[in-house]
Every structure is written in structure tokens, then in C-alpha cells.
């Protein structure tokens, strides 16, 4: 039996030595697609809201082709329906802008897109948002610089967008590089790939910086989309990746992306 094991191990070793490595090149699917990509947000802020239409990437790092010439509008679902029209931006083709208007609670908003003789739809409602917990959380990096820190709060999923600007400080030499955007997602999930995500670039700013916080409410459908989007972007490359796929969408067949309606709370802090 001892000799049989030795002979078996020797045969296996010789077989491994005889194996040759062969390079396999998997062909990419570069076939044209009729899909359109939709990025749309409607909030309680009285601003010009935007719907961005583009086409899927065919190659890595490719600049997406925009979808121009579409008819885009939003309809309210109530006894007296309101039609909110959009106009395509001249400076940024593929970006469709409403007039200055705000979303109202307890209404269903339906996005309608007519493009290349096809119709795409998505409906969403505006969930409430919990209060912004004061004060803004930040900590020193050195004697004269700071960075934001993330502390979860409340019970509802949300994300907070921080618009950081230190253009008016003495530390700003080139005004183009004296501003930044940082977003903290608080989806109330426990995701292993979020816990072990790659290190993110830190935003460091000096005293006198102005930080505008915008807290967005997130519906259950929007939460699923954001989780999928983060798994494909900010969380990818960590210890626990997921299989690549399109995030969940609330759009009808033939379109990907998401149309969200959100409640937003805003405050401003000057770093001291």
C-alpha cells in the first residue's frame, strides 16, 4: 500500500509537469444595443431638475454616447394630472431640464420618455426624510486641515451630499481645485463588500471652508438601485466582490438606470 501511494503521487506529479498553460481570450460583446441609460432625480427643491439620457458603454473607459432628440416629461398621478415638460440643454446634449419647480409629498410622479419611436416609463413617490443631525461631523488631519467623518443616524435609508468649498480662503491658490464633492451613503444595510471596500481618496480642507450638506430620502426601490450601483463602483475591488450586473431599475423594458423622487434637507457650516 505504501509503494502504491508513492507511485500514485509520482504519476500525478508527472501529469502536472506535462500540463501547458494556454492563454484564453474571451470575446467581448460589442454588439450595438437599443438600451438607453436614464439618470433622473426630482426633489422638493425649487430648481431646474434634470433627466440625463445616454447609451450603454461598448468598451471600457469609453465616453458614453448621449441620447438626443427625445421627448421627456413627468406626469402627476392624481385627479387633475399635471404635465411637467422638459427642454434639452443646448450646452449639454442629452440633458433634459424642467422649469424651476418642486416635488410635492403624497403624489406619484411618472417619467415618460419618447425616443426612437419607443416609450419608456418609470414611477416614483417622494418619501419623507429624517432631520439632519447637527452639527456637521469633522476631525483634524493636521494643525490647519480637516476631513469629514461619517456617523450613521436615524432609522431610514438616506445619503448625504457634501459640497465643500474653500475658494475664499488664503489656502486656495488655484480656485478650480479648491472645491470638492463627498457623498456618504447610509442605506441601513450590512454589506460585506461595503465593510471591506477599497480605500477611498480623502478630501482634506482648511479652516474657513464652507460645507453645504444635502440629505436625500431614499425609497425601498431606490435603495436597491443604490446598493447595486455601489457594488459595481465604489465597493468593487475589495476583498468580497459580487458578479457584475446592471443594478435594479424602475424603468420599463428597454431602459436601465433609475428615476427617483426624494425629499432634501439642506444646511451650511463654516469650518472653525
pLDDT at 56: 85
Query: What are the domain boundaries of the chain?
Result: 36-125, 138-246+264-270
Minimal CA–CA distance to 210: which of 173, 176, 180, 177?
Answer: 180
Residue 236 binned pLDDT confidence (cut-offs 50, 70, 90): low
* CATH 2.170.140 fits domain 36-125: no
Listed in order, strand segments (DSSP E) in 201-263 are 205-206, 210-217, 255-262
pLDDT tens digits for range 74-105: 999 877 889 999 999 999 999 999 999 999 99
Confidence class for position 183, pLDDT limits 50, 70, 90 = very high
pTM over 0.75: yes
**pLDDT band per the 50, 70, 90 thresholds, residue 13:** low
192 pLDDT exceeds 80? no
Q: Mean pLDDT throughout 158-183?
A: 91
Residue 234 is predicted with a pLDDT of: 53
- How does pLDDT run across 250-271, given as a tens digit for each residue? 999 999 999 999 999 999 999 9
Residue 163, burial from CB neighbour count under 10 angstroms (0-12, 13-18, 19+): middle
Single out the residue of 228, 257, 222, 248 nearest to residue 127, CA to CA.
222
Q: Using CA of residue 230, residue 241, residue 220, residue 159, what is the dihedral sign?
A: negative
pLDDT value of position 175: 74
Report DSSP state, residue 27.
P
As given in the structure block, the three cell numbers for residue 252 are 420599463
Amino acid at each position: 500500500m505504501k509503494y502504491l501511494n508513492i507511485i500514485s503521487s509520482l504519476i500525478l506529479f508527472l501529469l502536472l509537469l506535462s500540463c501547458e498553460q494556454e492563454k484564453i481570450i474571451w470575446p467581448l460583446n460589442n454588439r450595438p444595443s437599443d438600451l438607453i441609460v436614464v439618470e433622473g432625480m426630482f426633489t422638493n427643491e425649487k430648481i431646474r431638475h434634470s433627466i440625463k439620457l445616454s447609451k450603454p458603454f461598448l468598451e471600457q473607459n469609453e465616453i458614453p454616447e448621449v441620447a438626443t432628440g427625445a421627448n421627456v416629461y413627468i406626469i402627476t398621478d392624481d385627479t387633475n394630472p399635471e404635465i411637467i415638460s422638459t427642454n434639452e440643454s443646448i450646452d449639454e446634449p442629452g440633458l433634459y431640464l424642467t422649469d424651476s419647480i418642486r416635488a410635492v409629498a403624497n403624489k406619484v410622479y411618472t417619467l415618460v420618455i419618447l425616443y426612437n419611436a419607443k416609450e419608456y416609463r418609470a414611477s416614483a413617490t417622494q418619501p419623507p426624510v429624517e432631520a439632519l443631525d447637527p452639527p456637521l461631523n469633522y476631525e483634524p488631519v493636521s494643525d490647519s486641515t480637516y476631513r469629514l467623518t461619517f456617523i450613521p443616524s436615524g432609522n431610514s435609508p438616506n445619503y448625504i451630499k457634501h459640497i465643500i468649498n474653500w475658494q475664499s480662503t488664503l489656502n486656495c491658490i488655484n480656485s478650480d481645485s479648491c472645491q470638492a464633492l463627498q457623498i456618504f451613503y447610509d442605506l441601513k444595510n450590512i454589506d460585506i463588500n461595503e465593510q471591506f471596500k477599497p480605500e477611498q481618496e480623502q478630501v482634506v480642507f482648511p479652516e474657513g471652508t464652507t460645507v453645504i450638506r444635502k440629505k436625500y430620502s431614499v425609497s425601498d426601490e431606490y435603495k436597491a438601485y443604490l446598493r447595486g450601483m455601489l457594488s459595481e463602483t465604489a465597493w468593487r475591488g475589495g476583498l468580497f466582490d459580487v458578479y457584475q450586473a446592471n443594478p435594479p431599475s424602475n424603468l420599463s423594458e428597454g431602459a436601465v438606470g433609475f428615476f427617483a423622487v426624494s425629499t432634501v434637507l439642506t444646511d451650511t457650516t463654516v469650518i472653525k
